[in-house]
Structure 1
Amino acid sequence: MNEVFKSGSGRLLSRFLPAARWLPNYSLAALSKDSLAAVIVTIMLIPQSLAYALLAGLPAEVGLYASIAPLVAYALFGSSRTLSVGPVAVASLMSAAALGQVAAQSSADYLLAAMLLATLSGLFLLLLGVLRLGFLANFLSHPVISGFITASGVLIAFSQLKHLMGISAQGDNLPELLHSMFTGLGNLNLYSLLLGVGVVLFLFWSRSGAVRLLQRLSLSQNSAALLVKAAPVVGVIITIFLAVGLNLEDKGVQLVGAIPSGLPSFGWPSFSLALIEQLWIPAIMISIIGYVESISVGKTLAAKRRQKVDMNQELIGLGTANLAAGFSGGFPVTGGFSRSVVNFDAGAETQLASVLTAIGIALAAMFLTPYLYYLPKATLAATIIVAVLSLVDFSILRKTWRFSSADFFAVLVTIVITLLFGVEAGVSCGVGASVVLFLYRTSKPHIAEVGLVEGTEHFRNIKRHKVLTVPQILAIRVDESLMFSNAAFLEERIYADVAANPAIRHVILICSAVNEIDWSALETLESVNLQLAESGVCLHLSEVKGPVMDSLERSGFLKEISGKIFFTQYQAFTELRDNSSGCSG
């Protein structure tokens, strides 16, 4: 079998089907590790799946459906060996916001719209993957995405308080949620509140106190930390017994209720062009945020084992996972941070762990759902609240304030817009802020006037170091490729410096950091060269990289330049330092 995979057809297969890379050498030892990881993740994923389905406004069983076929699809097509996909908090909240605009909750149309949303998301991700556009994720500012996730975490936590209090409340943003909850306080259910708060406290305690307790029982720290991940299941079991024993249903406590047993049915979701028009933009937004979150987790975990994650293949893996969700009665999924870390820490070696997890979830959907009738919604709400509070990181404001005012204001605006106007406006603002930051920074590259560090051949910024300069030479270094977005900025800087010093006869543009010059920048250089020559000032280039030199030579610019092209800046400085004649206009 190994010979088949080593052949040309085998290499081609492994390129499009990453699972073919690890299957030939799969061992019993790997199976043992994958099986253990699958058991732990399955236990963790059952309450999470139910909770995130309710967060998305869907029946609880839909969360289970979204945790079966998508896991198998990603196992085949995803490039990460330990990433675990499924419903996640932010994508569920974004799904709820999108679906609430097209159908009423609890209706058949709402579920069909959720399936279509997952399908559209899958098709969009697949398209990006086929076109190899994974690099586009690099244009999203990580501080801005962190700000969006932080604000989304706050919205999710507040949206679940209604279940803790047993009241009815609606809203897509923080003001609406607060107003709705305030008006519903008269219907507060004390039993539900005590139950939910108790689960929240238990889950928070389990993160530290339970670990210490298990360590006293002679368990290793790693084993104790993994067992603690099952704390939500313990909360589910205990509160189910409390709901039955105390007859909490009759006391007004909201329960999950009847959950159909069995596996999801597969088929192409029904759709209309009108519905597609309403959902395609939210689908793109969910895809973007989900992909960025997923690729960040995947890269982090892969680096710990010196493995590689292919950004384009990840698009295909997540795309097929979402298509599988759409075809099996689910809703949008992506790589989850918490479950992926648990999967990794539990020792998962390959994506077979995800396949085994899918089997575990399928068995739960077939045989355990009757026992979930008495599960209080307050328990699931508590599970969500504790999970998403780990996403909330307002320290990003302090960190960006100290590092970059532009990043700080971009993060602040994203957080405020998300909280005040909802996740759709927030993610649009986040994407827009990322693009604006990119354009702002590329339009104003760092440009330094440099001088010679005496006794060396090195040149440094005259504002930071004690260096040697001569009046007739202006040596400036551009720390960015020259493009249409920053060409005018460089042109203005050169003219301003020359105007400020009438003694200048030579302008040396140091190109050590210039990897590319586009046509707009070339035209600007031609204009600068002409204007300087008419003023009796020569334009020179130094330390030009090979590909850039090739482009300049093909354009004919090297024949027009008034000065010279120098191999090093030191050569340019030593040759021109005693030359005060300049160029004849």
Structure 2
Amino acid sequence: MQFMPSWMRNYQRSWLSGDLVAGVIVTVMLIPQSLAYALLAGLPPEVGLYASILPIVAYALVGSSMTLAVGPVAVASLMTASALQPLAAAGSAEYVGLAMLLSLLSGGMLLLFGLLRLGFLAHFLSHPVISGFISGSAILIAVGQLKHLMGVKAGGGNVLDTLLQLAHAAPDTNSVTLGIGAGSVLFLLLARKLLAPWLVRAGVDAKLAELASKLAPMLAVLVTTALVAALRWDKSAGVSIVGAVPQGLPVLAFPSVAMSAISQLWLPALLISLVGFVESVSVAQSLALKRQQRIQPNRELLGLGAANVASALSGGFPVTGGFARSVVNFSAGANTPLAGLVSAMLMAVVIAALTGLFFYLPHAVLAATIIVAVVSLIDVQTLREAWRYDKADAWSLLVTAGGVITWGVEEGILLGVGLSLGTLVWRSSHPHIAVVGRVPGTEHFRNVARHPVATVPDLIAVRVDESLYFANSEVLQDTIERLVAAQPRTRHVLLVCSAINQIDATALGVLTDLESSLARRGIALLLSEVKGPVLDRLQKTSLGQNLQGRVFLSTHQAFESVRQNTAAPVTGGEKQVAPSH
């Protein structure tokens, strides 16, 4: 019993109906998505079905979210295709083996991160970078699926190249295929926007109506498959169909491991792991908050790692938590991961006995399913909000999306991460530095350029709003030297350390040199509001020894000490102009 997950040990009978209903509904949604995302990844359709059984079971036993639906998703499928297409022919046995290895590497990395308790990696990629990556990937995916809608052969390494090839192939468009694909896109879009309101007006419960609109892709699959089979459009009109899907449960096997393949796949596996983890945690956390539940990031790493290892061993490809399926699972009443286990069992039945139903399924419908699913991932709202609030974040989003569209998924996300880290370093290396004075009648100190404050003539009080390290310490030194040069009467320089959480060795050296330089000119360096850990380390240094008696608990105490010792009057009380970086 102790090895059973907590939700299973504490299961309540009242939860069963919700879990059963959610499991059935998610299965109906998962079938077309599994087939479609296998197509997107360049894999045979049955691989998508394989990736929808054991991974769900593994996550249910290890993960921490009660409602996250794990399985094939669009972005991970695109990243899989991007990683594997340069290495093997899409759909070949070698390609499938590499997909299994990619899933194994991704799962192994996630498990290792979980064992090392690296759940904080969820914060490694900023929201604008993730949004830009997903938005760029959505555009890349949608454009890449147009060839299936048109029934032509076209490809390209980026969006522009693909569009040029599609334009060149346009005269060869299969009109019946285009009718099926475009009609399916239109139906799915209308179903998403209008079906639920129409059902509500017809008297259907709002919750059921919303769920019905999510299941529209399955209806499109059933109708178009029946039409192609009845009219034999695969023969008479040349409509591309899925064809024979092998029947039977996947055979458990360890993927072939070659060092040459690992050297080519470790970076894509790492990126898939990070992106999938961040996306899954975001979805799981947002759903958990609605029920006052909590997820455990380190358990999520273990759960997703186990799911990907299970996928690799059962002939699948990388999986992660899907947003749309998770929302449907939550809305359908799922209470525990038992809903996922129900879905896995039903998928096993489909694979074992019902794959013959997919023979006449047109590729155009799968492409339509993918296009409609990914269009909703294009995040214009985040771009709009970031542009209003912080243009640097907005540019991170745009550059990441542009990199994905122009160069590909790996290059795009690496570019976005690099830009985010570069922005972080640039901001911390140009900290906000303010000369401060006392607000009259209080013990509060504020920027002299923003508030009417009082000052002491021979004291310059400087607050730096950043930890001090090798990239910004000289900026502080240059600022203080400039202020001292502009005020020759200065006899005290007070560094307000309320925002300084750390001083590295380089910054310590700069402060030591600054203290010595000021002392030679008869100017004393003072510190105030130094945080405990920073002060503990300073006291062991020569600078700390030199500053004995000049480190104050509060800026007010330092201000009063200087005023009393020099008998200098307090001046000001009016807003002044001073450097503000």
TM-score interval, smaller chain: over 0.9
CA–CA distance in structure 2, aligned partners of residues 441 and 125 of structure 1: 31
Contact 1:139/1:434 (8 A) holds in 2: no
Structure 2 counterpart of 1:163, from 143, 148, 155: 148
Of 284, 306, 316, which aligns to 1:320?
A: 306
Q: CA deviation at 1:219?
A: 2.2
Work out whether 1:520 is the aligned partner of 2:506. Answer: yes
Matched residues in 1 for 2:478 and 2:548: separation? 19
Larger mean CA deviation between 537-546 and 117-126 belongs to: 537-546
Query: Is the Cα contact below 8 Å between 1:139 and 1:435 reproduced in 2?
Result: no
Question: 1:60-83, CA deviations, whole angstroms, 9 ceiling, x for partnerless residues?
Answer: 111111111111111112122211
Deviates more, 1:513-522 or 1:150-159: 513-522
Aligned equivalent of 1:101, options 86, 102, 115: 86
What does residue range 167-566 of structure 1 map to in structure 2 within 5 Å? 167-250=152-235, 251-555=237-541, 557-561=543-547, 564-566=550-552
Q: How far off its partner does 1:229 sit?
A: 1.1
**Residue 540 of structure 1 contacts residue 565 of structure 1 at CA under 8 Å; is this kept in 2?**
yes
Secondary structure (helix, strand or coil) at the match of 1:454 reads coil
- What stretches of structure 2 of length at least 5 have no aligned partner? 569-581
Question: Do the aligned partners of 2:5 and 2:62 also contact (CA within 8 Å) in 1?
Answer: no
**1:139, distance to aligned residue in structure 2 (A):** 2.9
Query: AA paired with 2:280?
Result: S
Q: Deviations over 1:227-246 (max 9, x none)?
A: 21111111111111111222
Report the alpha carbon displacement of residue 525 of structure 1 after superposing the two structures with TM: 2.1
Scaled by the length of structure 2, the TM-score of the pair is 0.94
Question: Any conservation in 1 of the 2:247–2:352 contact (CA below 8 Å)?
Answer: yes
- 8 Å contact 1:118–1:283 — kept in the other structure? yes
Q: Which residue of 1 aligns with 2:573?
A: none
Identity of aligned residues (%): 53
| Counterpart Cα distance in 2 of 1:35 and 1:205 | 29
2:145 corresponds to 1:153: no
CA RMSD, aligned part only?
Answer: 1.9
Q: Distance in 1 between matches of 2:492 and 2:323?
A: 56
CA contact (8 A) 1:139 1:438 kept: no
SS at match of 1:331: coil
Aligned partners of 1:285, 1:538: CA distance in 2, in Å?
A: 52
Distance 1:131 1:501 in 2: 53
Q: Secondary structure at the match of 2:9?
A: coil
Give the Cα separation in 2 of the matches to 1:202 and 1:406. Answer: 39
Aligned-partner SS, 2:495: strand
What's 1:7 paired with? none
1:514 alignment partner, SS class: coil
Mapped partners of 1:442, 1:139: distance in 2: 17
TM-superposed CA distance for 1:156, in Å, is 0.3
- By how many angstroms is 1:208 displaced? 2.5
> Which amino acid is 1:214 matched to?
L
Residues in 2 aligned to 1:21 and 1:522: alpha-carbon distance in whole angstroms? 50
Report the counterpart of residue 33 of structure 1 in structure 2.
18
- 1:146 deviates by 0.8
SS in 1 for 2:293: coil
Structure 2 CA distance, aligned partners of 1:493 and 1:339? 55
1:516-571 superposed Cα distances (whole Å, 9 cap, x missing partner): 33333222222222222222221111112222222222345432127611111112
Change (3 A) 1:386 1:59: same
The number of aligned residues is: 567
Structure 1 pair 461/220, CA: closer, same or farther in 2 (3 Å)?
Answer: farther
Q: State the distance in 2 between where 1:147 and 1:361 align.
A: 33
Aligned position for 1:136: 121
CA contact (8 A) 2:121 2:274 kept: no
Alpha carbons of 1:203 and 1:109: their partners in 2 closer, same or farther (altered >3 Å)?
Answer: same
Give the CA deviation at 1:122: 0.9
- The 2-side partners of 1:556 and 1:536 are apart by 19
* Residues 1:58 and 2:43 are matched in the alignment: yes
Offset of residue 575 of structure 1: 2.1
Question: How far does residue 580 in structure 1 lie from its aligned partner after superposition?
Answer: 4.7
Q: CA deviation at 1:482?
A: 2.5
Q: Work out the CA distance in 1 between the residues paired with 2:223 and 2:174.
A: 19
Contact 1:147 1:396 (C-alpha < 8 Å) held by counterparts: no
Query: How far apart are residue 90 of structure 1 and its match?
Result: 0.8
- Separation in 1 of the partners of 2:327 and 2:457? 60
Code of the aligned partner of 1:296: S
Amino acid at match of 2:92: S
**In the alignment, residue 305 of structure 1 is paired with which amino acid?**
R
Moved more, 506-515 or 81-90: 506-515
In the aligned structure 1, how far is the partner of 2:442 from the partner of 2:72? Answer: 59
8 A Cα contact 1:474 1:504, kept in partner: yes
Q: Given residue 101 of structure 1, which amino acid in structure 2 is its aligned partner?
A: P
Which structure 2 residues correspond to residues 3-14 of structure 1 after superposition, within 5 A? 10=2
Larger deviation, residues 428-437 vs 164-173: 428-437
1:67 partner amino acid = S
Contact 1:39–1:357 (CA<8 Å) still a contact in 2?
A: yes
State how far apart, in whole Å, the 2-side matches of 1:405 and 1:235 are: 42
Alpha-carbon distance in structure 1 between the residues aligned to 2:46 and 2:272: 21
Between stretches 549-558 and 100-109, larger displacement belongs to 549-558
Distance 2:289 2:463 in 1: 35
**CA distance in 1: counterparts of 2:290 and 2:489, whole angstroms:** 57
2:250 aligned partner, one-letter code: P
In structure 2, C-alpha distance between the alignment counterparts of 1:289 and 1:219, rounded to whole Å: 38
One-letter amino acid matched to 1:347: G
Paired residues of 2:129 and 2:413 also in contact (CA < 8 A): no
- State whether residues 239 and 379 of structure 1, in contact with CA within 8 Å, keep that contact through their aligned partners in structure 2: yes
Give me the TM-score of the superposition, normalised by structure 1. 0.93
Structure 1 gap ranges (5+): 2-9, 14-18
Aligned equivalents of 1:499, 1:131: Cα separation in 2: 52
Distance 1:139 1:490, change over 3 A: farther
Q: Residue by residue, what CA displacement relative to the aligned partner does 1:324-373 show, whole Å, maximum 9, x if unpaired?
A: 11111001111111111111222222112211111121111122210111
